[in-house]
């Protein structure tokens, strides 16, 4: 899953556009950030977001092990708390996120 507002290095995507006088009229890319939010929550460790210390899917913890049977529901509830309606399932070793 890759956010469309982030470049390949993980930084905010910037596309500078100038008018005929050479002044910048557009820079930061603006768009739907739901996929980016879901990706960051899934990858984050609990405690990584200081204002919401229990937020985080800790997916790296399960990288070489068995995924908790409650993990999908837990992350779905976390995303719902952020105003994001998502359905998360785990199939054949893949995490499927439908937003």
Q: Give residue limits of the domains in the chain.
A: 32-98
pLDDT string in tens for the chain (99-residue length):
344 677 888 788 888 899 999 998 888 777 788 888 999 999 999 999 999 999 999 998 887 778 888 999 999 999 999 999 999 998 887 889 998
Residue closest to 1 by CA, chosen among 28, 29, 38: 38
Its pTM stands at: 0.69
pLDDT at position 4: 66
Q: How many CA atoms lie within 13 A of 17 on its CB side?
A: 5
């Amino acid at each position: 899953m890759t956010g469309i507002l982030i470049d390949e290095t993980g930084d905010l995507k910037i596309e500078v556009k100038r008018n005929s006088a050479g002044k910048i009229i557009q820079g930061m890319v603006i768009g739907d950030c739901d996929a980016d939010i879901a990706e960051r929550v899934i990858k984050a460790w609990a405690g990584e977001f200081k204002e919401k210390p229990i937020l985080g899917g800790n997916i790296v913890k399960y990288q070489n092990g068995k995924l908790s049977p409650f993990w999908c529901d837990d992350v779905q509830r976390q995303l719902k708390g952020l105003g994001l309606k998502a359905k998360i399932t785990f199939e054949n070793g893949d995490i499927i996120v439908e937003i």
